[in-house]
Structures are given as structure tokens and as C-alpha cells.
Amino acid sequence: MFDFIIFLVLGAAFCIIGWRIWKHEQLTLIHRYHYKKVSKKDRKAYAEKMGKACIVIGIGLALCGLINYITVSSIGWLCFVVCFVFGFTMILMAQKRYNGGLF
């Protein structure tokens, strides 16, 4: 039960942070060196991609906790890994496209 709550809280936190980055363009939630080379005109698209990526990772965390709470199988972890890899790939692609690299 404890791990279920932890995963839900972490998933909700990632989703809230992602929403704030995406919808409110609050790039200050990301470390400065990750967006310092992003031009003013690309900030909206960059914030959208980074926010959506955080939401995907948050959904993966929440689903992992929920599935592992309902069933005792590795399907929850598989869901987390798929969402994490997809979200992290989205982050890497946004960083490369808008920031010119990871740093």
C-alpha cells in the first residue's frame, strides 16, 4: 500500500510540473542551462514538448503504482519503463532541436 501511495504522489507531481511547464510556459521549473539557448520564438514549442514529456513520465509512474496495487505482476513496471523511455526520448529530442544539445 505504501508504494502505491508513493507512486501516485510522484506521478501526480510529475503531471502537475509538466502541466505548469506546458500550459503556463513556466520554464523556471527546468534548470536554466537546459533552456538558455532556446530562442524567444521557440519557447512555446519547447515548453509544450517538455511539459508533455513530464506528463507522460508522471502517467507511467501513476499507472505503475495502480497496476502493481491491483495485480502482483511485472506489468506495472513494464508500463513505467515504456512511459519513461518515451518521455525521456521526447525530452532528448526537444533538447536537441531547441537547445542545440543536452546542455
pLDDT for 13: 96
Q: Residue 19 is part of which domain span?
A: 2-99
Per residue in 62-77, pLDDT tens?
999 999 899 878 898 9
d(CA 10, CA 49): 20
Per residue in 12-59, pLDDT tens?
999 999 999 999 888 888 876 677 777 788 888 888 999 999 999 999
Specify the DSSP class assigned to residue 74: S
Count how many domains the chain has: 1
d(CA 33, CA 103): 6
d(CA 12, CA 96): 27
Kindly report the pTM of this predicted structure: 0.88
Q: At what angle do helices 75-94 and 43-70 cross, to 10 degrees?
A: 170
Query: What element of type H or E holds 35?
Result: helix 32-35
Hunting for cell 513496471 — which residue is that?
A: 77
